[in-house]
């Protein structure tokens, strides 16, 4: 089954520098992935530095500078197009690739190894917040 899931638009990724989402791998395990701007299009990578298991986007957007996504822990920069890192602690490594396709400005997850779970990080699933049932307000005079 390789049904494509529409994620967002290229424009949105370019405006916000990154777009975080959660996928499930072939074993049903959840992982985070990020869309990053690359020239006119986008690329997607697993949201994890290759030096240590550090999230590149910690839930409030990744730092993208001069075509590189910068690891928040030790500052290695990975090329947003190739995923390759040529500097710092993660030098010589490449981010784990997630296949996406672009059609009419929309971005689709197009990877046999992953299925879309939800937008945002693993912990961002709905129902995770503290907003329990709001106490019904009894207005009495």
Toward ligand FES, which CB reaches closer, 75 or 105?
A: 75
Toward ligand FES, which CB reaches closer, 52 or 113?
A: 52
Report CA torsion sign: 61, 54, 40, 79.
positive
Q: Return d(Cα 53, Cα 136) in angstroms, integer.
A: 43
Q: How far is the CB of 74 from ligand FES (least distance, A)?
A: 3
Q: How far is the CB of 85 from ligand FES (least distance, A)?
A: 8
Toward ligand FES, which CB reaches closer, 10 or 49?
A: 49
Residues that bind ligand FES (CB under 6 A): 49, 51-52, 54, 71, 73-74, 76, 88-90
Q: What is the CA radius of gyration of the chain?
A: 17
Q: How far is the CB of 68 from ligand FES (least distance, A)?
A: 12
Toward ligand FES, which CB reaches closer, 38 or 50?
A: 50
Q: Can you spell out the DSSP letters for 25-61?
A: -TTS-EEEEEEEEETTEEEEEES--SSSS--SS-SS-
Number of other residues whose CB lies within 10 A of the CB of residue 128:
11
Q: How far is the CB of 48 from ligand FES (least distance, A)?
A: 9
Q: Return d(Cα 7, Cα 115) in angstroms, integer.
A: 11
């Amino acid at each position: 089954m390789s049904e494509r899931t529409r994620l967002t638009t290229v424009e949105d990724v370019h405006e916000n520098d990154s777009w975080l989402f959660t996928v499930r791998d072939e074993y049903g395990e959840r992982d985070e992935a990020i869309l990053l701007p690359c020239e006119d299009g986008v690329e997607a990578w697993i949201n994890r530095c290759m030096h240590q298991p550090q999230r590149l986007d910690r839930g409030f957007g990744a730092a993208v500078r001069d075509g590189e996504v910068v690891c928040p822990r030790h500052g290695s920069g990975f090329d947003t197009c190739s995923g390759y890192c040529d500097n710092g602690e993660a030098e010589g490594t490449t981010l784990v690739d997630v296949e996406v396709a672009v059609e009419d400005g929309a971005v689709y997850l197009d990877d046999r190894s992953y299925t879309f779970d939800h937008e945002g990080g693993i912990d961002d699933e709905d129902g995770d917040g503290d907003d329990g049932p709001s106490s019904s307000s009894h207005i009495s005079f």
